[in-house]
Structure 1
Amino acid sequence: MPQIDGKAGDWERVPDSYTYGTSYLKDTEDGHGAEIDTTDINVRVKVGWVSGLNRLYFLYEAYDDFWDFERFNPKGYLNDIFEIVVDGDMSGGPFIYNPLLPEARKWGNHPVHIQNHLAFSGYHAQNYHIFTPPVNGSWTLIWGAQPWIAAFPFAHHAYDFDLEHGASGKLTLEFWITPFDQAPFEGPDHALVSQLYENKVIGLSWSVLDFDGGERDGHFNLSHDTRMVSDASYLCAFRLMPLEKDQKPQIKADWSFGLMEHKDRTVAFRDESLGAVEAWYWDFGNGAYSTEQHPVYQYPESGVHYNVTLEVSGPAGKDKKTRFWEVMVP
């Protein structure tokens, strides 16, 4: 799990083959997918996930020959942007403008526009306009009705840069976000977090919007289609890959459990440890133990939480995992 501090050091273990550089992008500003001049702008993106956490981690490193971060200049343009869109359940389709509400595309206080914004924009896929670098205290603009998704505990970020407006230089951005299957404007109490697990396929893409002195110099796009910013059907398919073998610990204890039906107070435990394991020692939290790999145990009393520990051992050594207050016997 990377530490979000704006430093790229803890991403060095990620192989270069997992890096998305400028060559993966096309300039879709004019719709023709032109190649990008890397002396103008050059970027590297790494994406990761951590088992058990419904978060997507990003490392964004960018060189630009003209950093534009006046944000709202007299011509009405935004500053340089790293824009990402995520669709955690691959539901696809428009997610900014409801195609059944044509008036929704007209900005203003029209009742239909307000209805679309509150009930549709960003609901099933989320768009983040990330400022590079941030100005006026905001790190990202959420294109939708749920600005709360950009705040902790649903997102976290850190930058490293020493730039002046109009000058060249390098910026590093580290962040993580939480994808949502449902993200209503009412807030997180009504939201549904996307569940992330090994080999799941999600929708994801990003764009780099480069401004040079107020004029937009390009819209560099991973999906090679600018419609990705408002329609999740134009995102790329990303598979949540398992760790490479050389990245896995030699031995690591892990386990899960489930209550057995029609057997009172009986719990089935399953060993899910990594590495070469030769011996198992289960402590059921009440003085009882087992040396089986996948034991089944009937607790003597109900209505109690138990702290259960599995210790495994093998040629590479020992490891153990305790799950605190999770095993509840009804």
Structure 2
Amino acid sequence: MPRIDGDMSDWEIVPEDYIYGTDLLNDTEDGMGTDIPPEDLDVKVTIGWVKGMSRIYFKYEAYDDFWDFERFNPKGYLNDIFELVVDGDLSGGPFIKNPMYDQDELKWDPQTDAYIENHLNFSGVHAQNYHIYTPPVNNAWVLVWGSQPWISEFPRANYAYDFDFEHGESGTLQLEGWITPYDYAPHDGPQRAIESKLWENKVIGLSWSILDFDGGDRDGHVNLAHTVRMVSNASYLCSFKLMPLEDQFLEPIKAAWTYKVIDEEKGIVAFKDESVGKIDQWTWDFGNGDSSLVQDPIYRFEDKNVRTVITLEVKGPDGSSKRTRYWEVMIR
């Protein structure tokens, strides 16, 4: 798990083949295609996740021949921007402008550059768009293109920068941070929000674009999805698989398990082994004197409304490991 502190050294363990470079980007709006001169803009992006947490980590490293970040614009667009878009449950479809609304009947809000009803009821609710300022001098760190600015606040997001250039100069910027993807992110705050659940090998929608200003009009709008429609319609995002840890970072053997109550009335629970390593023996202790040697047992609890203490012990050529969970498997 990287520390979000502006020191990028903890990203050095990430292999080169996990890094997305400028050669994968396409300037579909301004006509440059994939011919993006590295002396003008050169980008490296690394994406990560941590098992058990609803966070997408990112590192953005970019060389720009002209960093633009001191001009004022009420809409907040005249700034170099790293635009990150995520669809945590791969639901797809538009998420900024709702085609089901009659646009002629909605009220336009010049401050948000959106229709009021459309903005509150639809924008950013099932997929989220982050306009991240690079760097955020005299500015918020991000403009959320949606109706839920609360998603950019800690502990739902975090960020840190490292750069040493002034406005108008060339140089390299490094940004690290994490965001929380949401299956449902209403405008009125996180109380009713539903975080996207992340697990190994899950596929999510994700992409990014870079808005490059050079002191005047926009110099380029390059993106990973090769279409600018990715910024408002999740169906155009790229598919990302959440990969498990590389073998070099795994413990030789470690017990782990999950469960699902499949019949609460009868007290039937399905247990699933998720241990790591070479394993040839599983021993389950259900906390009531009963046990099982099956890897993925289905067990019926006769007694209900009890606080269970359940342990899985695994053994293999590299040793043994136990995992106990207290009071979690509840049968009412």
- TM-score exceeds 0.5: yes
Structure 1 residue 268 displacement after superposition: 4.5
Give me the whole-angstrom Cα distance separating, in 1, the residues matched to 2:75 and 2:14.
41
The AA in structure 2 aligned to 1:243 is L
Equivalent positions of 1:57-206 (< 5 A) are 57-72=57-72, 77-99=77-99, 100-103=101-104, 106-108=108-110, 113-136=115-138, 138-206=140-208
Indicate conservation of the 8 Å contact 2:107/2:116, yes or no. Answer: no
Equivalent positions of 1:204-283 (< 5 A) are 204-259=206-261, 261=263, 267-283=269-285
Give me the whole-angstrom Cα distance separating, in 2, the residues matched to 1:304 and 1:119.
43
Structure 1 residue 267 displacement after superposition: 4.5
Aligned Cα root-mean-square deviation (Å): 3.0
Structure 1 residue 66 displacement after superposition: 2.0
Indicate conservation of the 8 Å contact 2:75/2:111, yes or no. Answer: no
1:318 counterpart SS class: strand
Structure 1 residue 146 displacement after superposition: 0.3
Question: 2:314 matched to which residue of 1?
Answer: 312
Instruction: Please say which of residues 83-92 and 238-247 is displaced more in the overlay.
Output: 238-247
Indicate conservation of the 8 Å contact 1:25/1:221, yes or no. Answer: yes
TM-score (norm 1): 0.86
Distance 1:201 1:105, change over 3 A: farther
Indicate conservation of the 8 Å contact 1:252/1:273, yes or no. Answer: yes
1:97 counterpart SS class: coil
Indicate conservation of the 8 Å contact 1:73/1:214, yes or no. Answer: no
Distance 1:161 1:318, change over 3 A: farther
Question: 1:322 matched to which residue of 2?
Answer: 324
Q: How many residues end up aligned between the 2 structures?
A: 328
TM-score (norm 2): 0.86
Between the aligned residues of both structures, percent identity stands at 60
Distance 1:136 1:318, change over 3 A: farther
1:23 counterpart SS class: helix
Indicate conservation of the 8 Å contact 2:285/2:292, yes or no. Answer: no
Indicate conservation of the 8 Å contact 2:74/2:111, yes or no. Answer: no
Indicate conservation of the 8 Å contact 1:68/1:214, yes or no. Answer: no
The AA in structure 1 aligned to 2:7 is K
Structure 1 residue 320 displacement after superposition: 3.0
Structure 1 residue 90 displacement after superposition: 2.5
Give me the whole-angstrom Cα distance separating, in 2, the residues matched to 1:234 and 1:98.
16
Give me the whole-angstrom Cα distance separating, in 2, the residues matched to 1:139 and 1:55.
18
2:328 counterpart SS class: strand
Q: Is residue 13 from structure 1 mapped to residue 13 from structure 2 by the alignment?
A: yes
Q: Deviations over 1:235-266 (max 9, x none)?
A: 22222233344443321211122446388556
1:48 counterpart SS class: strand
Structure 2, unmatched stretches of 5+, are none
Question: 1:292 matched to which residue of 2?
Answer: 293
Q: Deviations over 1:219-242 (max 9, x none)?
A: 111112112212222222222233
Give me the whole-angstrom Cα distance separating, in 2, the residues matched to 1:197 and 1:5.
26
Indicate conservation of the 8 Å contact 1:71/1:77, yes or no. Answer: no
2:136 counterpart SS class: strand
Give me the whole-angstrom Cα distance separating, in 1, the residues matched to 2:323 and 2:244.
20
Indicate conservation of the 8 Å contact 1:41/1:64, yes or no. Answer: yes
Structure 1 residue 137 displacement after superposition: 5.6
Instruction: Please say which of residues 231-240 and 114-123 is displaced more in the overlay.
Output: 231-240
Q: Deviations over 1:275-313 (max 9, x none)?
A: 112444545456x47472445666675323334333333
Structure 1, unmatched stretches of 5+, are none
Distance 1:95 1:315, change over 3 A: same
Give me the whole-angstrom Cα distance separating, in 1, the residues matched to 2:323 and 2:8.
29
Give me the whole-angstrom Cα distance separating, in 2, the residues matched to 1:149 and 1:305.
36
Structure 1 residue 144 displacement after superposition: 0.9
Give me the whole-angstrom Cα distance separating, in 2, the residues matched to 1:131 and 1:109.
18
Structure 1 residue 57 displacement after superposition: 1.4
Q: Is residue 48 from structure 1 mapped to residue 48 from structure 2 by the alignment?
A: yes
Indicate conservation of the 8 Å contact 1:56/1:177, yes or no. Answer: yes
2:141 counterpart SS class: strand
Indicate conservation of the 8 Å contact 2:23/2:34, yes or no. Answer: no
The AA in structure 1 aligned to 2:25 is L
